[in-house]
Structure 1
Amino acid sequence: LTRDGGKTWNNVTPRALPEWSRISQIDASPHDAGTAYVAVDRHQNDDMRPYIFRTSDFGKSWTQLGNGIPEKSFVRAVREDPKKRGLLYAGTETGVFVSFNDGQDWRPLKLNLPTTPVHDLIVRGEDLAIATHGRSFWVLDDLSPLRQFTPDVPSQELHLYTPAVATREHNPTDEENKAILTGQNPPAGAVIYYWLKSEPKGETLLEILDSANNVIRSYSSKKTDEPDEPLDPDAKKPDSQIKSEAGLNRFIWDLRYQGATRVPGYHLFEYNEGRLGPLALPGRYQIRLTVDGKTQTAPFDLRLDPRVQVSEQDLRQQFEVLMNIRDEMSRVYEAVNQIEDVRLQLAGLKKRLPDDAAAQKVRTAADNLNNRLLAVRDTLLQMKVRANEDSLAYPQQADAKLAYLALVVGGRTDSAPTAAALAEFEKLKGMTDGFLASWSQLQKTELSAFQHEMAERNIAPVVVPASGSPSAMGEPR
């Protein structure tokens, strides 16, 4: 060891180190000048045991480490985490091991890593990268759970880890056409980890809050997301929005606000991304996790893609226009859901009527009202679209035009909307206002008259679901 730039050297070889040992690697601690870790490889001496040594006084004394590493897993590399003192990673003949107490005890860090020799490893930012012998390079994305781990975590019923800084990126993927030898990128979005001591018996609810504590997105184990396109008969049914199990759980927030309201069974196909909520703006956010009635929160930051040069004003203008488009689409879909609910009630009413002349008058009135409802609904969306490219055969209505505009304004770019896009939004909003005014007028006139007639005949009334009710939002009854 030299401490004067190489002028003088001292032999600091550990006394417990057997002769003819190969010093595979020396890692100087990033946290303490006098601390270093040595990985020793003796497999060419037919000694497969793991040898790791640590000094905290510039090599004057050494402590041999390795408890927990199998007897036949000799060590080639050991590194200390640059952000968490005492958090060590070891590359061995059979894989990677981790220590949370400065090397005193080790446990395997396997996950989906095959059993393979690890010749070197390095911590870069939030990730751990390793080089294997014959099994390629591997990267463990996001070391946050390891850096925040403490011995009491396994005994806790619920533990929410603080997410690492998330980056706002546009990363389109084409899994079907990906080359065989292409690596897998880390998930796009905010990576959320939480620990559960046992599998939940009740609901798991995960909410994203903005800096003003407003809920901007929520996921529930009791809800499922409707697929973007109709499922094939033999396709797997959608899972719940969030699925929790005993142990460590990972969830990815795609950084988007809640999307527009859905119409059950209706799909936009090639325009579907226009229904999604806009990407969140850079800033501070919170995770609120509730499991079986227990709640924990954790803050995290969202940063702009460092490769992007755009003003905060332009980003906010883009965000606000996309939110306005989303809200217009929700108005459209909420009206459609109300109309469809009334039509369903009319169909049920007709089935309950007796087969006589008086009932026939009610059926005729119900049919006339149903036709008027369809006329209004079909200005709001195109229900004949049932597959990709059907939009080429049938004219698109208000919702698809709004969705397409959202694709133009969002466009997988970070930029202010153009003057033409702003003008188109005002045009579509005016058109939508007119269609929704027709729906409002229909409720006040023909629907009201029908309700009055049913009341005179002592028939259960037909009602319009209230705005914001589960039925109006397209949720199951």
Structure 2
Amino acid sequence: MSRDAGANWEDVTIPDLPEFALISILEPSAHDPGTAYVAATRYKLSDHAPYLYRTTDYGETWTQITTGIPDDDFTRVIREDPGRAGLLYAGTERGVYASFDAGDSWQPLSLNLPVVPIHDLVLRDGDLAAATHGRSFWVLDNVELLHQFTPGETAEALRLFRPRTTIRYNPGASPAALFSAMGRPGAGDPAGANPPDGAVIPYYLAEAAPEAVTLRILEDGALIREFSSASTPESGGPNFFGQSAGGGGLSAEAGAHTFAWDLRVEPAQVLDDAVFQGSATGPRVPPGDYTVELAIGDLVLSQPFSIVRDPRVDVTDGELREQFEFLLEARDRLTETMELVGRIRDMRGRAEQAVERGGGGDRLRAALAELNDQLYPVEERLVQYRARAGQDLIANATGIDSKLARLMGFASMGDGPPTQGQLDLLARLAEGIEARAAAIDEIERTSYAELARLVP
């Protein structure tokens, strides 16, 4: 060891290290200048014992730290977590181990890693990467989650962990993403699996929950998304490209779980039989500070987390919020469109029931026909009620629903504020919706009321 940039050296070799041991890794601590860790091997001499050591006094004394690692599982690498003192990782001939107490005790961390020699470990941006001999590279995402554990900690009945800071990533209109959305193979198919898109929320249940588990996302105390283990997240309904959204996978079973929220708010509420072009999915939230709540009955746990802008995107957080608010208005207008169609169909159903109750005479049937002659053109401007599949929209005019959904799709392909053309289009579509709402009010006040008066 040298404390003067190599001008002078002193021998601090581990006294009880067996002869001819190979020093594989020397890991100086990032938290204490007098602390360092050593991994050594003697497997070439048919000695498969693990050799891990720790010094806290610049090498004057050393302590062997292998408790918990099998006696025949030799170690090539030891690394200290730069974000937490005393949190160590060791790579052995058959896997990976972790220690929360500076090596006093170890426990397996291999998870789904195959039995394979680990030659090196690297911690980068909160992830742990392992270099293996014969099975390529493996990455344990968000190993920083271990920072939230303490030595000797016992399992609680319910625990919600703080999600890591999430990058707001937008796949945009890449060919692979578009082909995937259309159910066709894309250029990126033969590739390894990426981490889940969005915020990954870890939680733990010591035993199966006696009732539904509810997860809520809030911003400034306002609820922006809610999921339950008792139901499947809404996807925004079927559409031309078959796209969907939601988190999915919220479990109430015992064990450790992760829930991936795709950063989207609730989708537009669409009719079950609606066929339209575009997407009804809710927009991605902008960068900012959020809170996640996990609830079982009256027990509620919460954790803060942050969403940050993709560093490759040349826009401001404020511009992304402008985009979000624009898409939110378009989503709400799509929901309003569907609600108006629901009003039309409800009015038509009530009229048909009234005609049936009144005996179905000629005057009643004529009044019903006149009512429908007014309702169907209004409905067709809102949705294409004749469409039963996406191909039907080729032969029949699309309604305001398709125009809104396509606007949402195009306006969300990239990251940035809406263009003036998009703002103008949304304003025109909003005027069209309001005009149809006024027409429905007038029809209900006149033609429908007249039919109702004819019923005895």
Shorter-chain TM range is 0.7 to 0.9
Could you tell me whether the CA contact under 8 Å between 2:227 and 2:233 is conserved in 1?
A: no
Shift of 1:112: 2.2
2:90 corresponds to which letter in structure 1?
A
More off after superposition, 314-323 vs 187-196? 314-323
Amino acid of the structure 2 residue aligned with 1:145: L
Please list, as runs of the form range in 1=range in 2, the aligned pairs for 1:227-376 lying within 5 A after superposition. Answer: 242-268=250-276, 270-272=277-279, 275-341=280-346, 357=359, 372-376=374-378
User: Aligned runs of 1:72-471 on 2, under 5 Å?
Assistant: 72-151=72-151, 154-171=154-171, 174=177, 176-179=185-188, 182-210=191-219, 212-226=220-234, 242-268=250-276, 270-272=277-279, 275-341=280-346, 357=359, 372-411=374-413, 413-450=414-451
Gaps of 5+ in 1: 232-237, 458-477
- CA 363–101 in structure 1, closer or farther in 2 if over 3 Å, else same: farther
Q: How large is the Cα RMSD of the aligned pairs? A: 2.8
Cα distance in 1 for residues equivalent to 2:249 and 2:396: 33
Partner letter of residue 421 of structure 1? Q
1:28, CA displacement in angstroms?
A: 0.9
- 1:89 Cα deviation from its structure 2 partner: 1.1
Amino acid at match of 2:251: K
SS at match of 2:200: strand
CA contact (8 A) 2:236 2:268 kept: no
What secondary structure does 1:14 align onto?
A: coil
Does the 8 Å CA contact 1:219/1:241 hold for their aligned counterparts? no
Report the equivalent of 1:36. 36
- Give the CA deviation at 1:283: 1.3
CA spacing shift, 1:7–1:425, aligned 2, 3 Å: same
Q: Aligned equivalents of 2:31 and 2:404: distance in 1?
A: 55
CA contact (8 A) 1:77 1:92 kept: yes
Q: Normalised by the size of structure 2, how large is the TM-score?
A: 0.88
Cα shift readout 1:250-272 (whole Å, capped 9, x = no counterpart): 1111112222112124343x512
Query: How many aligned positions are there?
Result: 441
Q: CA deviation at 1:152?
A: 6.8
- Cα separation, 1, equivalents of 2:207 and 2:369: 55
Q: CA deviation at 1:242?
A: 2.4
Higher mean C-alpha displacement, 143-152 vs 251-260: 143-152
Which residue of 2 is the match for residue 60 of structure 1?
60
Q: Distance in 1 between matches of 2:344 and 2:369?
A: 14
Cα displacement (A) at 1:228? 6.6
Partner of 1:50: helix, strand, or coil? strand
Unaligned residue ranges in structure 2 (runs of 5+): 240-245
Distance 2:5 2:284 in 1: 52
Partner Cα separation in structure 2 for residue 77 and residue 396 of structure 1? 63
Q: Could you tell me which residue of structure 1 aligns to residue 243 of structure 2?
A: none
Contact persistence 1:289–1:297 (CA under 8 A) = yes
Alpha-carbon distance in 2 for matches of 1:243, 1:360: 58
Q: Is the Cα–Cα contact under 8 Å of residues 213 and 295 in structure 2 kept in the other structure?
A: yes
Partner-residue secondary structure (3-state), 2:320: helix
Change (3 A) 1:361 1:196: farther
2:5 corresponds to: 5
Q: 1:122–1:373: structure 2 CA closer, same or farther, 3 Å change rule?
A: same
Q: Which amino acid in 1 is paired with 2:289? A: R
| Cα shift at 1:449 | 4.6
Residues 124 and 335 of structure 1, relative CA distance in 2, 3 Å threshold: same
Tell me which amino acid in the other structure corresponds to 1:194. Y
Task: State the 1:148 CA deviation.
Answer: 0.8
Q: Is the 8 A contact 1:220 1:241 kept in 2?
A: no
Comparing 258-267 with 170-179, greater Cα deviation is found at 170-179
CA–CA separation in structure 2 for the residues paired with 1:30 and 1:426: 57
Distance 2:153 2:391 in 1: 52
Mapped partners of 2:267, 2:236: distance in 1: 12
Q: Look up the equivalent residue of 2:30 and give its one-letter code.
A: P
1:364, distance to aligned residue in structure 2 (A): 7.2
CA contact (8 A) 1:223 1:240 kept: no
Identity of aligned residues (%): 38
Residues 238-288 of structure 1, C-alpha deviations (whole Å, 9 max, x = no match): 9966233212111111112222112124343x512xx22222121111111
Q: What is the deviation of 1:447?
A: 3.8
**Corresponding residue SS for 1:155:** coil
